[in-house]
Structure formats: structure tokens, C-alpha cells
């Protein structure tokens, strides 16, 4: 497996994919707040439902988007 940071990839799409996933996650959180829909995430291989809040709290970090433990 290649252990170089994704930001150093030659392929532009691959290099910018992390930023795109973060934007998609932000949009999903905003949509969940607007519609009152729970978010479903995988954390350490366990599915969790997170209820949306009115606004993100600075003290409580948003859940990370991609699960780093999955290939």
C-alpha cells in the first residue's frame, strides 16, 4: 500500500478528493439540520446515529468524514 500523503498524488482529482469529501460532509450536516434527519456514521467499525443540532458547537467537534480505519 502506498503511504504517501494523498495531497502529493499526481492525479489532480485524487489530490483534491479529500477537500471534496469534507465539503460534502459539511453539506450533509447542514441538510440534516434543515430536515431534522439523523446522520449515520461509521466510527471504529460501529454505526452511530447522530442527531442534528441547531448549529455546530465550537466545543464539540463534528464527526470526521471518512473512517480512517477502513481501506
The mean pLDDT value of the chain amounts to 81
Rounded Cα distance between 50 and 37, Å, is 9
Give which of 55, 58, 66, 68 is closest to 25, Cα–Cα.
Answer: 66
Percentage of residues in the chain with pLDDT exceeding 90? 51
pTM equals 0.61
Q: Cell 495531497 appears where?
A: 7
* DSSP of 20-55: HHHHHHHHHHHHHHHHTPPEEEEETTEEEEE---SS
Q: Where are the domains of the chain?
A: 6-50
pLDDT band at 62, cuts 50/70/90?
A: low
Q: What is the mean pLDDT of residues 15-31?
A: 93
Give pLDDT, residue 9. Answer: 86
> What SS3 state is found at 4?
coil
Amino acid at each position: 500500500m502506498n503511504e504517501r500523503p494523498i495531497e502529493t498524488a499526481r492525479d489532480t482529482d485524487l489530490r483534491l478528493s479529500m477537500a471534496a469529501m469534507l465539503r460534502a460532509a459539511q453539506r450533509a450536516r447542514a441538510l440534516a439540520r434543515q430536515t431534522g434527519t439523523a446522520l449515520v456514521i461509521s466510527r471504529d467499525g460501529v454505526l452511530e446515529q447522530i442527531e442534528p443540532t441547531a448549529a455546530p458547537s465550537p466545543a464539540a467537534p463534528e464527526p470526521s468524514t471518512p473512517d480512517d480505519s477502513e481501506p
